[in-house]
Chains A and B, each alone.
Chain A
Amino acid sequence: MTILPIPAPVIEILGLYKDYQTPVGPFPVLKEVNLIIHAGEFVAIMGPSGSGKSTFMNILGCLDRPTSGAYVLEGQDVAQMDKDATARLRGQALGFVFQGFNLLPRMSLEDNVALPLVYCGIPKEERRRHARTLLAKVGLEDYAASLPNRISGGQQHRVAIARALVNTPRLILADEPTGNLDSHTSEEIMQLFSALNREGITIVLVTHEPDIALHAERQVRFLDGRIVHDAPTHASTHHFAASGTVC
């Protein structure tokens, strides 16, 4: 598999810093991060806890703002945007798959999947139709009326992916997508991501499991708030194989 270089980057991050304010002064979480991701890439972000990868994902997802540096998403400088504009980006350009799935417990799966469309002003019938299409895509069309707690973790995860896809985003961000899943289900989920990637959707996922990262085409490693490794997967496979895949 070859990565075709595509001229317009989806994500451009230049000289990005993020400090957290603590009682003893600012605590730097991200230091001098530079990263360019092109359309159609499948990137795994790795690193130990506290390396800043979750913070980085929050910034990528327009949920958090960098302390300094530039984050350009599809040619738009996110740091310059007001809250409403970042909300629109989250709702229309991005699909976020959360670590804990974050489905609304009292809503049917169909309503959960359709929720992002509410904030785009899509009429109810169309929302419903669209949500059913996506539930079918993740193989859960029979559960449209169920509540999230009636289905398994893997199924919940597929619902969360369907929700992330509902507004046809060009970029999907997934935070520890296989966190609590058994290896068989993890494999299924990763197949789903790969399939989406083949459809042309850019995918960035955070994981600390090397065998999960193998599904991505490119691996980026964070350590102490810096990117210490950035290479195509086939080059780094060996590295992880050498260090052992027991996690």
Chain B
Amino acid sequence: MLIGMFHEAWSAMGANRMRSLLTMLGMVIGVGAVVLMMAIGQGAQYAVEESINAMGSNLFIVLSGGTNTGGVRSGSGNAPSLTAADADAIRELPGVAAASPSQQGSAQLVHGALNWNTSVIGAVPDYLEVRSWPLASGDPFTASDLRSATRVALIGQTAAENLFADEVPVGKTLRIGQAPYQILGVLARKGQSLDGRDQDDVLIVPLTTAQRKLFGTPFQGSVRSIMVKAERPEIMPQVEIAINDLLRQRHRMREAQENDFSVRNLTAVADSAAETTRVMSLLLGAIASVSLLVGGIGIMNIMLVSVTERTREIGIRMAIGARERDVLTQFLLEAIIISVVGCLIGLALGVGGAALINILTDTPVVISGSTVLVAFSVAAATGVFFGFYPARKAARLDPIEALRYQ
């Protein structure tokens, strides 16, 4: 029975092809716009989340304070107030997963005929966990490397490509100045940071090696910053307080004295960026939904015209045995076919458009199953909702009145 009605609805639409297509166009544009906007919005969200993940999550950064020499204040990180021992103490706090001091500089790396300038980070073995940064190959350096300040290094992908070209870096030796450094491992690719820096253009050496043999430091053991990773995002406020208390105690600070360090929460910054893009993608979706609504009203409009125009046909159908519900079903099916077919075309155009934007402008786009599902069910619901009133109007017609209609 339903198949019969489907056929009736389909052939009625075929009889008015141009009008059905134009009505469908409203739906096509609506769904296409929703899918495209959601794809771009979610793509932006994805990009932000990616860079947050690349940076490492649940992160604090503890910076040493500035100096104040006769009223001239230096920026944070210039006073030699933080030490590697502070990092070791922080690591013992409850709720802290890992902590690593780091010392950063840059150096000219040489391997065979190639050379490359890159940033060098002096760190402890914990650093890789803090940054959520696995190795692509090889092994990390160990605590004993740190103790004896051996000349070993982990190399980032970009630096490795520029220095070793097609060679396998692990086990090879590079030079910084005249000193040889053995490559223990290659870091996994991490991509761009939020500020657009290439995080893979890096060399990581033991902190002690960096301080004693590479950069040198006036205060042995002091570091500019310590990165701390909390176990879970929820406990970050408690961990922040604990770090504060611990460091004040270790630095023997008096009650009213200002901190000689500062603790910053990196995740909060990243979260607000993610929130911003989420709101943006929601907004885009909302604007696009308006066109979906307009498309739905277009369907209702055309269906109403169609019911009026086909009053006589409805009368004939009723006179030869169509029940109210048969007429209702037929017109409802017409509306649903228009919106579902329109939706499918819209989906195809939206996905195609998103892919095109991705290829042409390199903007990240994400098409999630839920977007497709939502767009599809909204379209079907639109068909039912806006098709129902005209269909009911048709079904309620009096057969005699309808037959007399010219």
Chain B positions 302 through 338: 1 when the CB is less than 8 Å from some CB of chain A, otherwise 0: 0000000000110111111111111000000000000
Restricting to A60-110, which residues have a CB under 8 Å from any CB of B? 61, 63-64, 83-84, 87-88, 90-92, 96, 98, 102, 104, 106-107
In the complex, whether B135 has a CB less than 8 A from a CB of chain A is no
Taking residues whose C-beta sits less than 8 angstroms from the other chain, chain A's interface range is 20 to 34
Distance A61 CA – B7 CA, assembled complex (angstroms):
27
Check if A91 sits within 8 Å of B400, measured CB to CB: no
In the complex, whether A167 has a CB less than 8 A from a CB of chain B is yes
Contacts of A107 in B (CB 8 A): 11
Chain B positions 76 through 98: 1 when the CB is less than 8 Å from some CB of chain A, otherwise 0: 00000000000000000000000
Check if B323 sits within 8 Å of A88, measured CB to CB: yes
Given contacts A124-B4, A124-B7, contact A167 B403 (CB under 8 A): no
| Segment with Cβ contacts to B, from A23-31, A111-119, A136-144, A207-215 | A111-119
Check if A87 sits within 8 Å of B322, measured CB to CB: yes
Distance A134 CA – B378 CA, assembled complex (angstroms):
45
Restricting to B222-262, which residues have a CB under 8 Å from any CB of A? none
In the complex, whether A228 has a CB less than 8 A from a CB of chain B is no
Distance A88 CA – B8 CA, assembled complex (angstroms):
19
Contacts of A61 in B (CB 8 A): 319
Contacts of B56 in A (CB 8 A): none
In the complex, whether B15 has a CB less than 8 A from a CB of chain A is yes
Check if B4 sits within 8 Å of A118, measured CB to CB: yes
Distance A106 CA – B313 CA, assembled complex (angstroms):
10
B interface, over-half SS: helix
Chain B positions 6 through 17: 1 when the CB is less than 8 Å from some CB of chain A, otherwise 0: 011001100100
Distance A104 CA – B315 CA, assembled complex (angstroms):
11
Contacts of A120 in B (CB 8 A): 321
In the complex, whether A5 has a CB less than 8 A from a CB of chain B is no
Check if B323 sits within 8 Å of A104, measured CB to CB: no
In the complex, whether B1 has a CB less than 8 A from a CB of chain A is yes
Chain A positions 39 through 59: 1 when the CB is less than 8 Å from some CB of chain B, otherwise 0: 000000000000000000010
Check if A91 sits within 8 Å of B316, measured CB to CB: no
In the complex, whether B66 has a CB less than 8 A from a CB of chain A is no
In the complex, whether B191 has a CB less than 8 A from a CB of chain A is no
Shortest CB distance B392–A (Å): 14
Contacts of B298 in A (CB 8 A): none
- In the complex formed, the residue of B with least CB distance to A119 is B321
Check if A92 sits within 8 Å of B323, measured CB to CB: no
Check if B319 sits within 8 Å of A106, measured CB to CB: no
Distance A87 CA – B324 CA, assembled complex (angstroms):
8
Taking residues whose C-beta sits less than 8 angstroms from the other chain, chain B's interface range is 20 to 34
- In the complex formed, the residue of A with least CB distance to B4 is A118
Contacts of A102 in B (CB 8 A): 312, 315-316, 319, 403
Shortest CB distance A202–B (Å): 18
**B5, B317, B323: which contacts A83 (Cβ < 8 A)?**
B323
- In the complex formed, the residue of B with least CB distance to A118 is B4
Given contacts A121-B4, A124-B7, contact A91 B322 (CB under 8 A): yes
Given contacts A83-B324, A84-B323, contact A115 B317 (CB under 8 A): yes
Q: Which of B7, B12, B322 has the most CB of A within 10 A?
A: B322
Contacts of B7 in A (CB 8 A): 118, 124
Contacts of B221 in A (CB 8 A): none
Given contacts A58-B400, A106-B15, contact A119 B320 (CB under 8 A): yes
Shortest CB distance B405–A (Å): 11
Shortest CB distance A73–B (Å): 14
- In the complex formed, the residue of A with least CB distance to B325 is A84
Check if B320 sits within 8 Å of A91, measured CB to CB: yes
Distance A61 CA – B403 CA, assembled complex (angstroms):
13
Q: Which of A58, A87, A88 has the most CB of B within 10 A?
A: A87
Distance A83 CA – B321 CA, assembled complex (angstroms):
11
**B1, B12, B324: which contacts A121 (Cβ < 8 A)?**
B1
Distance A107 CA – B11 CA, assembled complex (angstroms):
8
In the complex, whether B180 has a CB less than 8 A from a CB of chain A is no
Q: Contacts A58-B400, A90-B321 given; 20 further ones with Cβ under 8 A?
A: A63-B399, A63-B400, A83-B324, A84-B323, A87-B322, A87-B323, A87-B326, A88-B323, A90-B318, A91-B320, A102-B403, A106-B11, A106-B12, A118-B4, A119-B4, A119-B317, A120-B321, A121-B1, A124-B3, A167-B321
Ranked 8 nearest A-B pairs via Cβ: A91-B321, A106-B15, A119-B321, A87-B323, A116-B320, A121-B1, A118-B4, A102-B316
30 contacts between A and B (CB under 8 A): A63-B399, A63-B400, A64-B400, A83-B324, A84-B325, A87-B318, A87-B321, A87-B324, A87-B326, A88-B321, A90-B318, A90-B319, A90-B321, A98-B316, A98-B403, A102-B315, A104-B316, A106-B11, A106-B15, A116-B320, A118-B4, A118-B7, A118-B8, A119-B4, A119-B320, A119-B321, A119-B322, A119-B326, A124-B7, A163-B320
